[in-house]
Each structure stands twice: as C-alpha cells, then as structure tokens.
Chain A
C-alpha cells in the first residue's frame, strides 16, 4: 500500500473538511484530465448489450456468459473471489459481476458529473463515491504503468516534476501521482468528517 507525500507542483487545492462539509477545488485543466480518466474507466467497465441475452437473468443481475477478464486492469477491478478455485470464482462472477460493474460505473459517473460544478462540495455519500472512483482510476493507471510492487510504486512516485513529462510513461506517472494526491486528501477529509461526527 502507499503512503504518499504531498505532490509537488500540483495547483489543485486539497479536499478539506470544514463548515460546508467536504469541499475541494480543481483547475479547469485538471477537471478535463480527470473527466477523461473517469470516462476511460467507465468505458472499460461498460459491456455491450449481448444479443439473445435472457432479459430476466439480466434484470436480476445474472450473467451466465461472463468470463474472467483478459485485460489485467479490468481483472484488477473485477478480481477472482477465490485464490485457487477458477470454477468457484467464475460462478461468483455469474452472480455478482454485473452488479459490481454497475456500482463502479455509478460512482465514476457521479464523480464525472460533480466535475461540472465550479466548487466541489461533497456530501458523505458523494465523498464515498468519489473515493471509489479515484481508486478505480488509480488501479487502472497502475496496471498501465506496470506497478507490481512497492519498489515500482516508489519509482513512479518519485516522478513529480511536470517538466519531466517527455513520453507517455512519464506523463502517465505524473497523472497517477496527481490522482494519488487527490485521493489521499479526500480520504483525510473523510476521516476528519467522520471524527467530527463521532
């Protein structure tokens, strides 16, 4: 797991907890960036409606044709539920994967929608959806960046200077660090909100 320091050079104000609840501010360019990332993950998770699909099965959330995702990033978002039991994991997918996808898409869309307003003021429910959405974005970026262990994560984390963004990998690394910093500040604000309530 990661324990990030504040990202240097980022112009976004961190999320904070105050009288209005949890609020934050992002520059227009940062909103556009984030919106693009959220949309990417949404389209990864959205499935084409299959022909000849049993409408009743679809209605109650079953998906008997589901397979283990071949894309690593998608597999990280929708992992196997049993370590050494592919059959059991597949059965679980048939029963649950559709609803997990739908929940994730819901959170990602809610966050994307929230970006349309100038000031980000989040209810506790909004904040939870935002933290889930940012986490999914980070999981996908981390797969694209091939972050496999803590050493990889440290290496990526050391890239904080936007003037270093000279290729796709370094650009992705900076984007990853930005979303990490954003999520960390959001979670800190959520913790503060939780403590204030109790």
Chain B
C-alpha cells in the first residue's frame, strides 16, 4: 500500500482500523469454543461414559449418548464455553487420558447433548 494523504484512502484506513479492533473485541472470550472428544480404539466405553458423568456432572443417559456419538461418529462436542473454559476441560480430559481438542464453534454449531443430529 502506498502512503497517501488523499481523503479516500484515509477513510479506507479508518475502516480497516475499525474492522481490526472489532475483530480483536470478538476474539476471546465472546466467541464460543467447543470441547471435542475423539474416538480411539483403546479407551473403554464405560470409562468414557464415567468421565462424562463424574467430571461434567452429566446424567447417565446424557453421558452414554455423548459416548456413543464419539464411538459411532468418531467425535462429539461434549462441552462449550469460552476458550479458557474449554481449555480447562481439555487439561482435565488429557488427565483422564481422553483424546480432547478445542475448536472455535462454527456458526450453526452442534449443541452438546441435544438430539436430532445422531445419524451423520
């Protein structure tokens, strides 16, 4: 970009600056993040379900449903929140030996524990 004192460019610059700052504002903690648990052939189904119950306080049926989603679909979003919150969960999940990652929630994201999207 060439430095210019022309009026139009100045507006452009200002718009860009405004865009940048609004992006900054939208980064943490407003953008929701997901905690994803991935399937692996080692972790026991009972153990994964138990971790969902004991750590997240989910009911037996909800924990079972999320566990089955991991097992059948390969992954499941089991919690969401701010980046800091889901990272905290990820630390705990790694402590339990579950394969957990965090990701920015896509628009129209899946909601953990709500039905309707079982069959992919």
Contact = CB atoms under 8 A, between A and B. Distances in A.
Interface of A: 1-4, 76-83, 92, 96, 99-100, 103-104, 107, 128, 131-132, 135-136, 138-139, 142, 147-150, 152-153, 180, 183-184, 187-188, 190-191, 194
Given A1-B39, A100-B94, A138-B42, A82 B47 contact: no
A79 B99 contact: yes
Interface size class of B (residues with CB under 8 A): 20 to 34
Contacts of A191: 46, 50
B41 A188 contact: no
Contact of B95 (A3, A100, A139): A100
B94 A78 contact: yes
B103 A83 contact: yes
A81 to B, nearest CB: 5
Interchain residue pairs A-B with the least CB separation, the first 8: A135-B97, A153-B41, A142-B42, A187-B46, A1-B45, A103-B95, A187-B47, A1-B71
B101 interface: yes
Interface of B: 39-48, 50, 53-54, 67, 70-71, 87, 90-91, 94-97, 99-103
A40 to B, nearest CB: 15
Contacts of B102: 81-82
B44 A128 contact: no
A80 B111 CA distance: 23
A132 B94 contact: no
Given A100-B91, A184-B46, A142 B41 contact: yes
A2 B43 contact: yes
A107 B97 CA distance: 12
Contact of B44 (A3, A80, A100, A104): A3
B97 A194 contact: no
Given A79-B100, A81-B87, A83-B103, A1 B54 contact: no
